[in-house]
Amino acid sequence: MLSSTVMSVSPGVPTPSSLTPPSPPSSSPVRAIPGSYGWPVLGPIADRLDYFWFQGPETFFRKRIDKYKSTVFRTNVPPSFPFFVDVNPNVIAVLDCKSFSFLFDMDVVEKKNVLVGDFMPSVKYTGDIRVCAYLDTAETQHARVKSFAMDILKRSSSIWASEVVASLDTMWDTIDAGVAKSNSASYIKPLQRFIFHFLTKCLVGADPAVSPEIAESGYVMLDKWVFLQLLPTISVNFLQPLEEIFLHSFAYPFFLVKGDYRKLYEFVEQHGQAVLQRGETEFNLSKEETIHNLLFVLGFNAFGGFTIFFPSLLSALSGKPELQAKLREEVRSKIKPGTNLTFESVKDLELVHSVVYETLRLNPPVPLQYARARKDFQLSSHDSVFEIKKGDLLCGFQKVAMTDPKIFDDPETFVPDRFTKEKGRELLNYLFWSNGPQTGSPSDRNKQCAAKDYVTMTAVLFVTHMFQRYDSVTASGSSITAVEKAN
């Protein structure tokens, strides 16, 4: 299995079956799902304005939990009217760990075309191909493409850590120069260059430097490509009501990024030939299917996810000198100076792993998960049972589900060592950020992120490298404002 290479170095991870969410009491009645979709057109518009403007996504869901006294309820999520006439915004929200876990039970739900809900970006963004993220496990093509993605990761595992470290050195050198010059340096561009560079080498098998344009602007091309697909579903903190009128009212056409996407396609076609050949000969994919799926994994899944996750990780560490001191001590006491960072060398950094997991709990890169009922079934929360009908769309907002007070003590607080020791490692069964629990294993029979373990281990490498290089790092917003070099 793909993830075995990385999972074998993860500290003390329990098996998925070692702890399961508590079942409701046998006397729990089947409860009618509370909430309402409201009047046609008007209900979805009212919920959309609350979601984007008056409340924001997290408050939107929390207020409805309080209103209905339930973590399972009916509501609407954007996008909706006026120009999304073919999108049904009606969902059943599932917002505690137990009900949330049903989103990943492929026996009762399907994932066909529900990556971002009933809305689906135009397939023109992916060469008129439904890439793996939009395929359900029951579709034959899913197994081929998911196996291809896992094979890419498995083959890249031998160079992954070294490429991460080499690209991190370049990133921090750039930031150091900026801080020395003006006492502050934005880390966004150096960070995105770092992410794009190591991912392209690991996944495509090509060095971006062979194409000056891709090396200079490839990450910007991916930024725009991902952003335009998701724009109707995300808040950009633009001046309201202009955001609602101009950004959330219609889907953006592919032609706005067509030229850039073509350049990325041609780069992969020309320089990723070894990967493309395996896709065609070993997994029975056409060249076009191979390239478009590879670009989606590179750009949407990997680059897009890390671009959100790493700033959250830096923010979690900034302004916490005691935590930084503990992390520095763990890194330097367990890894000898001059040791090359590998998945193996960082496997025993329990606090570093825990900080990564806690960041994923409170700030998951993908905030929403969706699934459509494959059949009629009974869904349970901690204290109730609900009848779900075939075709119902379930929606889970991860930040709320991951602060379930019946699972996590002091759930709203960032607790750096939450996932340490035996109790903390058991909590990994409830850490859902990757289309499944942290203790799960990606396979062609589920929708769990193929790179789940690579993501966490890359973040561990990121933190470890930082405290090998620095005694402390101070960040404010999107800038590094101070660094203290290690002696």
Residue among 221, 207, 195, 196 at smallest CA distance from 271: 207
Whether residue 8 contacts residue 422, with contact meaning beta carbons closer than 8 Å, is answered with no
Helix (H, G, I), strand (E, B) or coil at 372: strand
Residue 307 has, within 13 A of its CA and on its CB side, a CA count of 22
Cα 326 → chain centroid:
27
At residue 93, what are phi and psi to the nearest 5 degrees? -75, 140
Residue among 191, 210, 204, 198 at smallest CA distance from 163: 198
Q: Which residues of 4-23 are buried (b: 16+ CB within 10 A; e: fewer)?
A: ebbbebbeebeeeeebebee
Tokens matching residue 427: 């909590």
Question: Which amino acid does the sequence have at 417?
Answer: D
User: pLDDT at position 7, please?
Assistant: 38
Q: How many CB atoms lie within 10 A of CB 337?
A: 7
Q: Residue 174 burial by CB count (10 A; 0-12/13-18/19+): exposed, middle or buried?
A: middle
User: pLDDT at position 338, please?
Assistant: 83
Look at phi and psi of residue 324 and say left if phi exceeds 0, alpha if psi is from -120 to 50, else beta.
alpha
Q: What residue has token string 């995105």?
A: 192
pLDDT tens digit sequence for 150-206: 999 999 999 999 999 999 999 999 999 999 999 999 999 999 999 999 999 999 999
Contacts for 98 with CB less than 8 Å, ≥ 6 apart: 21, 22, 380, 381, 382
Residue among 147, 136, 171, 440 at smallest CA distance from 297: 147
Residue among 345, 340, 457, 394 at smallest CA distance from 75: 394
Residue among 102, 41, 35, 71 at smallest CA distance from 370: 102
At residue 379, what are phi and psi to the nearest 5 degrees? -105, 135
**Binding residue positions:** 449
Tokens matching residue 312: 């959250």
Cα separation of 67 and 69, whole Å?
6
Long-range contacts, 46-52 (Cβ 8 Å, 24+): 47/75, 47/76, 47/77, 47/78, 47/80, 47/89, 48/76, 48/78, 48/79, 48/80, 48/89, 48/244, 48/248, 49/244, 51/77, 51/78, 52/78, 52/235, 52/240, 52/243, 52/244, 52/248
User: pLDDT at position 21, please?
Assistant: 47
Residue among 326, 331, 354 at smallest CA distance from 10: 354
Low-confidence ranges of the chain (pLDDT < 70): 1-27
DSSP code of residue 451: T
Tokens matching residue 34: 């509370």
Cα separation of 289 and 192, whole Å?
26
Look at phi and psi of residue 435 and say left if phi exceeds 0, alpha if psi is from -120 to 50, else beta.
left
Question: Beta partners for 179?
Answer: none
Query: Going from the N-terminus, what domains does the chain have, and what CATH number goes with each?
Result: 30-485 (1.10.630.10)
User: pLDDT at position 15, please?
Assistant: 36
Q: How many CB atoms lie within 10 A of CB 176?
A: 16
Residue among 208, 319, 353 at smallest CA distance from 268: 208
pLDDT tens digit sequence for 365-422: 999 999 999 999 999 999 999 999 999 999 999 999 999 999 999 999 999 999 999 9
**Binding residue positions for heme:** 449
Q: How many CB atoms lie within 10 A of CB 329?
A: 12
